Structure 1
């Protein structure tokens, strides 16, 4: 028998073909927990073979702490943390970080300030010392503040020119009550950012950046590393004169007139950017495990319901995605993507049909596909130290238990089509906010004729 014949027999199901075993149970690794003297909680996770150590510092600081007239000051402050300290100016600090192989950055989310650091294991102690210096005594040099404000203003102009950014900004302004922080740009508007001074940045940092109530995650190969000693000598020694304010989680109310269609007019656009949103749950919802699966089934992959029609059958788009976006309290279900301009109206019609059709039920094949994808890919999603550290930091920021990820994956394995149907019917809204960025004059009347909501037009 030839080699070619043998190969053919093996791959056609003849004896000799290897058996593929079912995937085993997987759980998210649990870290060791330690409380530091200054009120920080340390989560330490040993990940053998991961010699780049990931450190994530999460401090409770919601965007609503910003003064209304200075919105964006939190982002400016965060972006300047690694631009020089009282001991080392910007150039000195940059050279030190480069010499140690440190990657560091900071940013804001709805409810917290996050500082991310990645460093080779052998330099962890020096990196933690610099991280402490960065959060404890940033310089906020006048020239750097001016540059950061100017850069942010330039970013705002670029975002206006980007259809996806413009659509998201309009969605926030339309979906949320205008009195809530969520209705306005997280990094501030042009007017509020332009008003920010160095004194504002210094005052915001002094008042709101404290270790108490925060969490530091250290993940990587920690063989022969005295992590406790390094943390106590660095971040554990960080104290501030003022007490940390306690922040409660609060919902972001939806606008009373949110169920409508807003056309953002960009004459001559050859594509239309679409966003559709309705209310959804946060990660504390009892049925939360069902929602990542539903997001996948509806629009999480090229073979999902949306792309099966709009991409594969119609050829209107390169891809439209959907997913649940939990907030600290409540959340949204969002569908977004771009379509050909001449397909705008039919795309909205089809999306309306597809989304309303979810209430008719999820098929067993869809349920199995979604559960398999979300559960069987979990080990790969959390295979590296940085991914593990990121997840732990997110759990800390949301105040979720350390077993949350494992519990969610385990619950997903038990989901049935009936569970998915109940979750969609009972926890997902039926009134949609629709935003279209494109040439409104080309399709306004036809969009109104669809009857999916009152239509208004705003300039880009």
Structure 2
């Protein structure tokens, strides 16, 4: 056997050098305002052959009638069922014919309508999208069907531990009586009270270009503004004033020594949430808080996951996220844990959230920064991803360059600043602990461990 055939491969092929990625920047759009007041952020992205578009309207749910909450959600859901020119599902057939997909979502501050379509059919899809936005038919049959679907969603949520936990957190985190403390899509009573005329009136009064932002991205062969002016540029303004959302009306922070228990008889696991108040994108601690959240519970090798999942085997995964809102922000720990180890798992989770005796070190901080900044080029490698981030910024009232400023701020975060931000907002023992599980098995052990247990019955 020759010598060359016995030489290990690694000795003949040099190991590639791993280096930090070059200075990637989030792209900046061309920003123009159409004649009707609709602001457009247009991203020309060479090589992106699927166009993405988000229309963000600042429709605060505070405008809904208290007795008919959910009308904003219904107005969005029925909008693509038919238009005045193409009723009874015909508009959907036309969208499918050009390979386009319509979607949308409501939050407490905005209504967003979305479209994805191959670049070659962009100009064909844009008039159809405009029809959906400006002249939906809103038939009685479609309204009734979506009311039925919404009620079915509510019934399903009550038997789903994760959704029940999220509903309980919402009720606790936001100020009692505020619109943000209640479900975006409304409860059963409100949804059932909505009439077809209510939905039509809501659309006519609140959908309009004033204050709205259209974010569009793709590889445009020619200037997209010409076609936008011919279509969405003709959208008439309703003239209705925009109302600021009450989304920043937080409740008083709770204590992590109090547990809100939602009974789910017979459950073999608990759905755990630890939730509190964070900061928005304007706060100088936002970058430091995000770094700390990734290091403590936002990655597979974070402290929470390493201990609760890997070392103790209490869960398949536990996650901490910090989320900025338009004003203020939130943070939430989420996990599914076996009922028999619920108490020690909660104890250990709260201990790990307190960094006073074990601050973040340089390696943890650097890894967290690299995770957020380093994966950005991959995270934003499609037109849809660019539009999704940009529309989030538009909804928050932030300019398109915020991502780059935030990444610059992330690179300046130190172990000390990350630890300090986390302790101020997360590790201080102020927050709400929600447990969805079998109350008969959980109440006694939780009380014996020193927790005050309060029960909550969800009403949908």
What's the TM-score bracket when you normalise by the shorter of the two chains? over 0.9
Q: Return the offset for 1:248.
A: 3.0
In 2, Cα distance between equivalents of 1:390 and 1:276: 27
- Offset at residue 236 of structure 1 (A): 0.8
In terms of mean alpha carbon deviation, does 419-428 or 321-330 score higher? 419-428
Q: Which deviates further from its counterpart, 25-34 or 120-129? A: 120-129
Are the equivalent residues in 1 in contact too, given 2:320–2:331 (CA < 8 A)?
Answer: yes
Partner of 2:248: 252
Residue 9 of structure 1 is matched in structure 2 by: 11
Alignment of 1:122-133 (within 5 A): 122-133=120-131
Asked if the contact 1:41/1:216 (under 8 Å) is kept, the reply is yes
Which residue number in structure 2 is paired with residue 238 of structure 1?
A: 235
Contact 1:56 1:218 in 2 (8 A): yes
CA distance in 2, matches of 1:449, 1:355: 22
Are 1:197 and 2:185 matched, yes or no?
Answer: no
Question: What is the 5 A alignment of 1:409-420?
Answer: 409-420=407-418
RMSD: 1.7
- Corresponding residue for 1:29? 27
* Distance apart, 1:172 and its partner CA: 1.2
Q: Any idea what the Cα deviations from partners look like across 1:337-383, whole Å, max 9, x if unmatched?
A: 10011011111111111112367421111101101111100111101
Within 2, Cα distance between the matches of 1:156 and 1:191?
11
* 2:402 alignment partner in structure 1: 404
- Measure the CA separation in 1 of the matches of 2:375 and 2:301: 17
In structure 2, distance between residues paired with 1:4 and 1:71: 75
Q: In structure 2, what is the Cα distance between the partners aligned to 1:251 and 1:149?
A: 25
Partner-residue secondary structure (3-state), 1:228: helix
- Secondary structure of the residue aligned to 1:443 is helix
Aligned to 2:435: 436
2:326, 2:304 → 1: CA distance? 28
- Residues in 1 aligned to 2:176 and 2:182: alpha-carbon distance in whole angstroms: 8
- Give unpaired runs (5+ residues) of structure 1: none
Q: 290, 299, 303: which one pairs with 1:301? A: 299
Q: Matched residues in 1 for 2:119 and 2:359: separation?
A: 50
Among 197, 212, 215, the alignment partner of 2:213 is 215
CA distance in 2, matches of 1:292, 1:164: 23
Residue 164 of structure 2 is matched in structure 1 by 166
Task: Determine the C-alpha separation between the residues in 2 that align with 1:222 and 1:205.
Answer: 31
Change (3 A) 1:63 1:4: farther
Quick one: distance in 2 between partners of 1:257 and 1:326? 17
Q: Count the aligned residue pairs.
A: 453
TM superposition shift of 1:10: 4.6
Cα deviation, 1:405-426, whole Å, max 9, x if unaligned, reads 0111122112110121222233
Instruction: Return the alpha-carbon distance in structure 1 between the equivalents of residues 342 and 45 of structure 2.
Output: 48
Where structure 2 has 5 or more consecutive residues not aligned to the other structure, the ranges are none
Q: Secondary structure at the match of 1:101?
A: coil
Pairing 1:142-153 to 2, within 5 Å after superposition: 142-153=140-151
Question: Could you say what secondary structure the match of 1:278 adopts?
Answer: strand
Q: Give the TM-score normalised by structure 2.
A: 0.95
**1:188 correspondence with 2:190:** no
Shift of 1:76: 0.9
Report the Cα distance in structure 2 between the residues aligned to 1:424 and 1:182, rounded to whole angstroms.
Answer: 25
